[in-house]
Amino acid sequence: MMHWPSRCIGCGACASVCPEHAIRMEDGRPVTAWESRAACDACAACIACVEACPTGARTLVGRNVDVEDVMAEVERDTAFYDQSSGGVTFTGGEPLSQPEFLRTLLEECRRCDVHSAVDTSGLAGAALVEAIAPLVDLWLFDVKIVDP
């Protein structure tokens, strides 16, 4: 889900319909999953807030997929991978935030002989990185900020 603060009128409709209380009003504006890890964990993605928003400040983007959906997309491009020595890069947000899903995808890529790369901030922890490292062909560590 996306939240467009410039469209928000602070009416609280989103907070009032959220069954998980993942949105709360604070100083006349909704505080949501994007600003609070606890809210993010609480959100069930039921989209009640999207449907209740009168200004379109909340919109649904993307779609839920399973491993089979992703691999069907990957398999459509295997001719390109073969010609270019390319493969799949898992990125966007933080792929290590869904470790079991990522592990299963990496196992499938390995089984299908598709090169895999993981683009990560590295903040998921060494144990997680070490656990999937044997399945990853290329690591890309994306440093966002260094604050001495």
Fold adopted by 2-59: Alpha-Beta Plaits (3.30.70)
The overall longest dimension of the chain from CA atoms, in Å, is 56
| CATH 3.80.30.10 domain range(s) in the chain | 67-141
Level-2 CATH architecture, domain 67-141: Alpha-Beta Horseshoe (3.80)
DSSP 35: T
| CATH 3.30.70.3270 domain range(s) in the chain | 2-59
pLDDT in tens, the chain (148 residues): 788 989 999 999 999 999 988 888 888 888 875 555 555 667 888 899 999 999 999 988 888 899 999 999 999 999 999 999 999 999 987 899 899 999 999 999 999 999 999 999 888 889 999 999 999 999 999 887 777 6
Positive/negative CA dihedral, 51, 53, 55, 58: negative
Residues 43-59: tens digit of each pLDDT: 888 899 999 999 999 98
Buried b (16+ CB within 10 A) or exposed e, 71-84: beebeeeeeebeee
Tell if the pTM clears 0.75, that is, is over it. no
pLDDT at position 62: 80
Q: Strand, coil or helix: what is 141?
A: strand
